[in-house]
Amino acid sequence: MHIRVINPNTTAGMTATIGEAARRIAAPGTHISATQPDAGPVSIESHFDEAISAVGVLEEVLAGEREGVDAYVIACFGDPGLMAARELTRAPVLGIAEAAFHMASLISTRFSIVTTLGRTGIIAEHLLEQYGFRHHCRRVRAAEIPVLDLEENGDAALSRLIGECRRARDEDGIGAIVLGCGGMADLTDEIAREVGLPVVEGVTAAVKLTEALVGLGLGTSKHGDLAFPRPKAFTGRFAHLSELTPRR
């Protein structure tokens, strides 16, 4: 099977990190392609960044549909464009926050999220409510590091993340930790060793869940609100989206 892992930001180093983590966890016979939009924010740290990046995510899904991709992972913890992406395909589409919440709830009764910035923690809280996991999450914690520090100041960022994860372990009454950024995809094992709790990271969780969905022959329902978008004219910079003819 072919899983496309889409990094919604435009930082190539982070796309490479995400792709490598996905390939390490993928089953034999699963092909992982890691992509990013041609234009958009270099990191995603706000509602504004998410809104801009969502268009790029959707264009990557449309490109994947032309190539016959079997499933998609949106590798940003805000899950930008997730529902719109599901409208474009019958293939499974998973966001890494949704996938991580599901996985963490299967191995613990309570978990905490450790993310980058406090303002993105609020976005994670919104997703917990939306996906029905608010009762499972004890706390959303922020290490207060910019997303690009994961690439540019890796050792210092890792140290701050480990410190926040230890505080979550000691103070929150939890059984697991969820890492709240796609750029943390390669840090799971080291943080788990240092903290001594199961650590769930969304990119790898989403890859395994998409493998399971494809293996079960389950795809996105085309009945109701996730049906293909109604064809219509788009103008200006979005004219190329006019009269979409999705893969059936």
> Domain ranges in the chain?
2-95+205-241, 97-201
Half-sphere exposure for 118 (CA within 13 Å, toward CB): 1
Residues 6+ apart with CB under 8 A from 70: 1, 2, 3, 91, 214
- Helix, strand, coil percentages for the chain (3-state, nearest 5): 50, 15, 35
Helix or strand or coil: residue 37?
Answer: coil
- Each residue's pLDDT tens digit, 131-179: 999 999 999 999 999 998 888 878 899 999 999 999 999 999 999 999 9
- The whole-number pLDDT of residue 65 equals 96
- Each residue's pLDDT tens digit, 120-130: 999 999 999 99
- The whole-number pLDDT of residue 248 equals 58
DSSP code of residue 40: S
DSSP code of residue 28: T
Pick the CATH number of 97-201 from 3.30.365.10, 1.10.1660.10, 3.40.50.12500, 3.30.300.160: 3.40.50.12500
Check pLDDT > 90 for residue 245: no
- Each residue's pLDDT tens digit, 187-236: 999 999 999 999 999 999 999 999 999 999 999 999 999 999 998 999 99
pTM of this structure: 0.95
- Each residue's pLDDT tens digit, 3-44: 999 999 999 999 999 999 999 999 999 999 999 999 999 999
Among 240, 234, 220, 197, CA closest to 71: 220
- Each residue's pLDDT tens digit, 68-107: 999 999 999 999 999 999 999 999 999 999 999 999 999 9
Mean pLDDT (the chain) is 95
Whether the domain at 2-95+205-241 and the domain at 97-201 fall into the same CATH topology: yes
Fold of 2-95+205-241: Rossmann fold (3.40.50)
CA pair distance 98, 209, nearest whole angstrom: 11
